[in-house]
Amino acid sequence: MESGLSVKVIGEYVDIAIFVTLGVMSFVAIWFTIERIIFYSKLDFSLYDDPDRLDLDLSKNLTTLYIVFSNAPYVGLLGTVLGVMVTFYDMSTSSTGLDAKAITLGLSLALKATAFGLIVAIPTLVAYNAMLRKSDVLSENFRLMRKKGA
């Protein structure tokens, strides 16, 4: 009986860990997206004389956005797999037999982790692609300005 209880507690901790991880990932994605928007809006080409230095500054933090959008679905999927495992374990150790409500509740709660992972990943992917495009456009504008000035 104690092992069943400990699996239940582990299941709750897994949920908390997955959602905290996805919450941190979403916070980081929002933070870096806002930072890039502010940086791009205040960019002063006169501070740069080297296109490579500008490219480094333009692409700063984009890798972090890439990491978030590419890994958030996997973190969510991990939560779902672990939630399903806990549900199956609870089913196997249940002394009262299989309760359809308990099974469907356990499985539906497990799926929430995948949904949250996608909720984090999709907007971050959109932000990443928008920031990458903006970075490319600004870089090309700088190169064109230098060509005209040379």
pLDDT, tens digit, 9 for 90 and up, residues 6-43: 666 777 788 899 999 999 999 999 999 999 999 999 99
- Rg of the chain on CA atoms, in Å: 23
Average pLDDT, the chain: 89
pLDDT, tens digit, 9 for 90 and up, residues 66-97: 999 999 999 999 999 988 888 888 778 777 76
Tell me how crowded residue 6 is: count the other CB atoms within 10 A of its CB. 10
Reduce the DSSP state of residue 149 to 3 states and report it: helix
User: Is the pTM of the predicted complex or chain greater than 0.75?
Assistant: yes
| Phi/psi of residue 99, nearest 5 degrees | -105, 115
Residue 4 exposure: Cα atoms within 13 Å on the Cβ side:
10
